[in-house]
Structure 1
Amino acid sequence: MIVDRLFQSSRRVFSILVCGLICVLLGSCAVKSAGTNASSKSIRVLMVGGGSSHNFDTWYKDADAKTLSTDGLATVTYTSNTDSIGEYLKQSDVLFLSNNQPIKDPNVRKAIFDFAAQGKGIVLSHAALWYNWKDWPEYNLQLAGGGSRGHDRYGSFQFNVVNTNHPITKGVESGFTLKDERYYYIPDPAGPGIEVLATNTVAGSDKIYPTVFVVKNPNARIAAISLGHDAESHNIANYQTLLRNTVKWVARK
């Protein structure tokens, strides 16, 4: 009996060591948030963060993952290791990109486009709507349908829903003020086109930019939310409703 217990204990220790070694070799371990009452019907979301100028761990890995996993809507896997995206996509319903760090591996880039070609769901949030990668123009052209090269200084602006009938804007106030970085997202005329669901404006300016929109990809369901710099977006009910609606819509739920 003593020998058996020692053997079983050794096996458990060995398993833990192997799992730890695998995480080290991958560069980082994904964090899963199953949420309350998660079930087999939960939407499997791969959320990718990391890069500069934003606190990705606080606002995406923690805040947004909690918002999405509430009531078992989604099971969120978060990673800041872009090289691991291809592997995680095999078990995902939705790819949620918030990162502005490079996605350099050509195999990962192909896996993302293959995911879209399969008709899966993609959410592009805040920093992922920037023109981040000069060596990957296909991303902005075909997946983001354009992009942003600038934004106002952090401050208040008006959020306006222009399509109240779309499932993504259901339950969201038609107009409200919040603080964030007002992205100058501009659609690329050579891209697939977008359907604007909400815009942003500031007093004294005639410039109006899309804030929430759908990219008219021929296969995938792609939706974008340009909000997301810090707590002034992530912690408000309107943003949380948008986030949950968007994930449900791209997942065709």
Structure 2
Amino acid sequence: MNLKKTLIPILSLMLVLGIATSLLAKEIPALKKPIKVLMVGGGSSHDFDKWYKGVDVATLEKDGLAEVTYTDDPTTILQYLSDTDVLFLANNQPIADQATRIAIFAFAEAGKGIVLTHPALWYNWEDWPEYNKTMVSGGSRGHNAYGNFNVDLTEKHPVTKGLPAHFSLDDELYYFKVDTAGPGIDILANASNEKTEPFPSIFIVKNPKAKIVGIALGHDAASHELEAYQTLIRNAVKWAAK
């Protein structure tokens, strides 16, 4: 048996297989891990289970974008926060525990992502003014009666990518006002109708470390089942997670 003649074909085959494997590795990108989202809901005036726990969780988990933990019990926030990429606040019930409040601010200080939606943009907590001043840079104390209004984009941004420049929906038009003592906001879209002046509806809070998105839309099905809204919250989570 000629060992040399036997080894050459084997080595050639190994070389070909090695090249093929290398090329396949370049062609097939590594699978991205889902973004870990902690969504906090619960409170009054909204069907949190139906629209946030139900529809929004499904929207974010579609195609493996995110892995969402939903809680309507604020006392559980601490146990999940350390393993979270994006904190998605959709609650207007109290977060009374001081340690949890401190942890949320520490989460922001660590440069993490936060999405603040419709219920969480209200002035909900008189005993926690730092939340609206620093985390939201403002808030709303009133809104139009539920009805139709327009949303108009004001600048291009990854959060609004794929949204129409102009769309309308039925919702509560929040009278969001900026707190000038806060970090300020970059307005990405305004909401208005023929009787109401424009108010910020989609915006970025100019937090020096955290990536914070504010979304004033989200009262019921007209928002949560709207393609533009679903694109918006997916964009917001993706941007905040980077």
The two structures have a TM-score, normalised by structure 1, of 0.83
Give the alignment partner of residue 156 of structure 1, picking from 128, 137, 148. Answer: 148
What is the distance in 1 between the residues matched to 2:102 and 2:195? Answer: 44
Deviation at 1:86, TM superposition (A): 1.2
The residue type paired with residue 200 of structure 2 is P
Give the alignment partner of residue 126 of structure 1, picking from 118, 124, 134. Answer: 118
What is the distance in 2 between the residues matched to 1:177 and 1:115? Answer: 34
Deviation at 1:177, TM superposition (A): 1.0
Q: Which has the larger radius of gyration?
A: 2
Deviation at 1:204, TM superposition (A): 3.2
Give the alignment partner of residue 222 of structure 1, picking from 202, 205, 212. Answer: 212
Q: What are structure 2's unaligned runs of at least 5 residues?
A: 1-30
Q: Equivalent residue for 1:90?
A: 82
**1:19-50 deviation per Cα after TM superposition (whole angstroms, max 9, x unaligned):** xxxxxxxxxxxxxxxxxxxx761000000000
The two structures have a TM-score, normalised by structure 2, of 0.86
1:96-111 correspondence runs (5 A): 96-111=88-103
Structure 1 runs of 4+ with >6 Å offset: none
How many percent identity over aligned positions?
57
Q: Equivalent residue for 2:138?
A: 146
2:108 matches 1:116: yes
Aligned residues: 212
SS in 2 for 1:192: coil
What is the distance in 2 between the residues matched to 1:75 and 1:56? Answer: 18
Coordinate RMSD, CA, aligned: 0.8
What is the distance in 2 between the residues matched to 1:90 and 1:167? Answer: 26
**1:188-208 deviation per Cα after TM superposition (whole angstroms, max 9, x unaligned):** 000000000000111133x11
What is the distance in 2 between the residues matched to 1:75 and 1:40? Answer: 12
What is the distance in 2 between the residues matched to 1:190 and 1:55? Answer: 33
